[in-house]
Amino acid sequence: MTGPESASGTTPTQQPAATSAPTGSGGSSGDLAASPARIALERRVRAVTPARLFLGRSGTSYRTADQLALRADHAAAQDAVHAALDLETGPLAPLVDSLGLFAVDSAAADRATYLRRPDLGRALSAEARDEVARRCPPAADLQVVIGDGLSVAAVDAQVPALLPALLDAAREAGWSAGQVFAVRNARVGLLNEIGELLDPGVVVLLIGERPGLVTAQSLSAYLAWRPRPGHTDADRNLISNIHPRGVDAPSAVARVLSLATAMRAAGTSGVLVKEDLGPAALGS
């Protein structure tokens, strides 16, 4: 997958043995691991990052609880990569009725092919092109597409709340919104073909990020102004880490619309469009 469809977590590393504080003038040494300064430092770090820091150890290994948590998070990441997008019984099912959501396939016929051949995930299948062209009105101001990417878990967790809010906010801002659809085995490069096929102003691709060991439920929003074949990451903008411990849904909606508005005003996207990260854009 192109661009920073990246790991959302931090791979843990073995922590060194606790060291002792330098000997004070009185000749006594303090245990750094148990000192008030160490405890205060851990609290400050944990307040700003969920990364696996200060885990401690048992001998030369992680403690049992930490090791089990690591294995559980690794299993969740694997499940997220290999899961299948489900519009019938999964969390996206209500959107089929409320928004007319439907799903098509990329040129990657199955998940195994998708993981081996990223290029096939950047194109729609012939059948998908026909269905999208038939069901999606062209030339919308804003065309939203859902891609499973490398984490169906992220799509299932974030899209049900994010998508309706984004469409409502776009309509309130006076934007026409195209028919939303989902693409199975999707890569970011699909933006180019969708732009060519439907000719919308701004295309927004909500796609699952590569899962990490902190969360397997992180979503990205890629935006492009009138994308066409040959466009690259330099022609796109990205809002990543959309999940409750990162960018929450209201903030993501505000940032997507702010970027889309800037693209419309500039008539371009990518490196020439800078995101406004002021309080309004962050939803605070």
DSSP, res 71: H
DSSP, res 247: B
HEC string of 144-163?
Answer: EEEECCCCHHHHHHHHHHHH
Query: Which positions make up the binding site for adenosylcob(III)alamin?
Result: 188, 209
Neighbours of 96 (CB within 10 A): 14
Alpha helices in the chain (DSSP H): 36-48, 64-82, 93-99, 111-116, 126-135, 152-172, 190-198, 249-266, 279-282
Residue count of the chain: 284
DSSP, res 197: H
For residue 183, the cross-strand partners are: 104, 147
Query: Which positions make up the binding site?
Result: 188, 209
Q: How far apart are CA 225 and CA 272, in angstroms?
A: 11
For the chain, state the CA radius of gyration. Answer: 22
Would you call 32 exposed, middle or buried from its count of C-beta atoms within 10 A (0-12, 13-18, 19+)? middle
Helix (H, G, I), strand (E, B) or coil at 234: helix
